[in-house]
Structure 1
Amino acid sequence: MKKNIVYSVFIIVLVGFSCQNLNKVSKPENLIAEDKMIEILTDIAFVKAAKGSYKKVFDIEKINPEAYILEKHGIDSLVFADNNNWYTSQLDKYEEIFTKVKSNLEVSKVKFEKLKKEEDSLKKIEDSIKRAKNNLKDDKILPEDLDELESIRKELIDVEKENAVKKRSSSNSLSGKKKQ
Structure 2
Amino acid sequence: MRKVIALFFLALFFSCGKKIIEKPENLIPQEKMVEILHDLAILNSTKSSFSHIIENRGIKVMDFLYEKHRIDSAQFSQSDLYYASVPLEYQAIYEKVEMKLDTRKATLENATKKRNDSAKKALEKRKDSMIKPKID
TM over 0.5: yes
- What percentage of aligned pairs have identical amino acids? 30
1:155-176 per-position Cα deviation (integer Å, ceiling 9, x unaligned): xxxxxxxxxxxxxxxxxxxxxx
2:91 alignment partner in structure 1: 95
1:2-56 per-position Cα deviation (integer Å, ceiling 9, x unaligned): xxxxxxxxxxxxxxxxxxxxxx422111111100000110110011111111111
- What TM-score comes out, normalization by structure 2 length? 0.77
Q: CA deviation at 1:89?
A: 0.9
Of the three residues 118, 123, 131, the one matched with 1:122 is 118
Aligned length: 115
Instruction: Name stretches of at least 5 consecutive residues in structure 2 with no aligned partner.
Output: 1-19
For the residues of structure 2 that align with 1:77 and 1:50, how far apart are their CA atoms?
21
2:133 alignment partner in structure 1: 142
Name the amino acid aligned to 1:142.
P
1:49-85 per-position Cα deviation (integer Å, ceiling 9, x unaligned): 1111111111111111222122111111111111111
Query: Which structure ranks higher in relative contact order (CA pairs < 8 Å, sequence separation ≥ 6)?
Result: 2
Q: CA deviation at 1:125?
A: 2.1
Of the three residues 68, 79, 84, the one matched with 2:64 is 68
- Where does 1:14-163 land on structure 2 (aligned, <5 Å)? 24-133=20-129, 135=130, 141-142=132-133
Name the amino acid aligned to 1:141.
K
- What TM-score comes out, normalization by structure 1 length? 0.59
Name the amino acid aligned to 2:66.
L
Q: CA RMSD in A?
A: 1.7
Instruction: Name stretches of at least 5 consecutive residues in structure 1 with no aligned partner.
Output: 1-23, 144-180
